[in-house]
A = this chain, B = another copy of it.
Amino acid sequence: MTQIAILGFGNIGSGVAEMLMRNAEYIQEAAGDDIFVKYVLDKRDLTGSGYEDRAVKSMQEILCDPSVSIVCEMMGGTQPAFDYSLAALKAGKSVVTSNKAVVAKHGAELLQAAKENGVHYLYEASVGGGIPILHAFDDSLKGCRIDRIDGILNGTTNYILTRMHDCGSSFEDALDEAKRLGYAEADPTADVSGADTCRKICILSALAWGKLVDSDTVYCEGITEMKEEHNAFAAACGGFLKLVATVKRSEGAPMLSVSPCVVMEENPLSSVKGVFNAVKVAAGDMGDLMFYGMGAGKFPTAGAVISDILAILRRKDDTDRYRFFENNDCAPTAYDKTKYDYCVKVTADRKALDAMPLTYTLLKEENGELYVLIEDIAKSDLYAALGGVTVSLCMRAIV
């Protein structure tokens, strides 16, 4: 029997306990073993939870019990989650986490500790909820070159943008609705500012290329300024407004960004609606892949935690390289110096635009304004090239 401890018995922590019971048949078959929750650590009173007999108030108790081989950290926030995770790894226990804040900040250190102690530190649930994307990166896609990743990684913001599109809601109304439905937290700052998305793209990037970039150094623009005009602009360009995180393969400084984008209709990311998440991967010879699913929620996230527990049981000996990355040592390329694609609305006629030193695709012409797509250009070069004309809107495009 595999004995585990759960740190943090909130939505996800209790979801893991519930799913372990409910799906015991499948889990037992997959693990070749029973999984038993021996301890639950939470400062709240667990009376009535069904787990009061296993409640502990001190991490020390868990660390000192050699029968616990896996610790599931679902506390949120960096402390004490980081200290507890490090202590567990040093005590020879594998750690599974859903905590993107810890992974984005301390992942490299924790992975190194896991390696040194011959145990696992796994974090599937920290990105994309139930979508098995990290697993795919470090397994099926490990033998091919990854060129680029684009992700819709936050269900709250995608829900808000979907409502703005479908119902013409304002940002504020859509946010209120998301709060009422439980899709947004009381303080939605981390979601709508893009910070949550930013942490997740840093984790994906780390897994794809082995280097973790400090999320505080990444260009990150949220959706708080999005208005009807941005929606209308995206539609006029033949696309949909989405908050997209992008990272491109780079030999030198990393190239990452998070910003509201016009996702062109031909791109499968354009069909990702409501609270769903998706990650599109340009995987060299393998072509484009997309992984889609519930990016958050109690059970999808708990399911990802359980898939990591199973991964530990099935690959005990593969602790030194599995899902490993290190800290990156150089800052990302400045956003306006990185080449992306852009949708631009300019007040100009075609003759004026044809005289500019750039190549464009005309998307629409209306009321003396041109909607154009300009591909593979740094924003600073784009503005320089557009010189004399008036740019009334410019957004990153995902073609």
List residues of A whose CB falls within 8 A of some B CB. 19, 22-23, 26-27, 29-32, 124, 130-132, 135-136, 139-145, 266, 268, 270-273, 276, 283-294, 297, 299-300, 302-304, 306-307, 309-311, 314-315, 317-318, 321
Q: Is the CB of A132 within 8 A of B143?
A: no
Which partner residue on chain B sits nearest A315 by CB separation?
Answer: B315
Q: Is the CB of B290 within 8 A of A292?
A: yes
Which partner residue on chain B sits nearest A274 by CB separation?
Answer: B266
Which partner residue on chain B sits nearest A25 by CB separation?
Answer: B145
20 A-B pairs with C-beta separation under 8 A: A19-B143, A19-B144, A23-B143, A23-B285, A26-B143, A30-B143, A32-B321, A130-B286, A132-B136, A136-B140, A139-B307, A141-B307, A142-B307, A142-B310, A266-B273, A285-B299, A286-B300, A286-B303, A287-B297, A290-B293
Within 8 Å CB of A285, what residues of B? 19, 22-23, 299-300, 302-303
Within 8 Å CB of A29, what residues of B? 142
Within 8 Å CB of A136, what residues of B? 132, 135-136, 140
For the complex, give the distance between the alpha carbons of A288 and B303 in Å. 12
- State which of B23, B30, B270, B318 has its C-beta within 8 Å of the C-beta of A314: B318
Q: Is the CB of A284 within 8 A of B23?
A: yes
Q: Is the CB of A287 within 8 A of B292?
A: no
Which of A23, A136, A310 has most B Cβ within 10 Å? A136
Which of A26, A144, A286, A309 has most B Cβ within 10 Å? A286
The copy count of this chain in the complex is 2
Q: Is the CB of A294 within 8 A of B288?
A: yes
Within 8 Å CB of A27, what residues of B? 143
For the complex, give the distance between the alpha carbons of A61 and B62 in Å. 56
Q: Is the CB of A289 within 8 A of B30?
A: no
Minimum CB–CB distance for A33 against chain B, Å: 12
Q: Is the CB of B303 within 8 A of A293?
A: no
- State which of B268, B283, B297, B314 has its C-beta within 8 Å of the C-beta of A315: B314
Within 8 Å CB of A321, what residues of B? 32
For the complex, give the distance between the alpha carbons of A272 and B266 in Å. 10
Minimum CB–CB distance for A158 against chain B, Å: 13
Known: A19-B144, A140-B304, A289-B293. 16 other contacts (CB 8 A): A22-B285, A23-B145, A26-B145, A27-B143, A132-B136, A136-B140, A139-B307, A140-B311, A142-B310, A285-B300, A285-B302, A286-B294, A286-B300, A288-B293, A290-B291, A315-B315
- State which of B26, B266, B271 has its C-beta within 8 Å of the C-beta of A142: B26
Q: Is the CB of A142 within 8 A of B30?
A: yes
For the complex, give the distance between the alpha carbons of A273 and B136 in Å. 23
Within 8 Å CB of A318, what residues of B? 314-315
Q: Is the CB of A143 within 8 A of B306?
A: yes
For the complex, give the distance between the alpha carbons of A302 and B284 in Å. 12
Minimum CB–CB distance for A168 against chain B, Å: 19
In the complex with contacts A140-B132, A142-B30, A294-B303 CB distance below 8 A: no
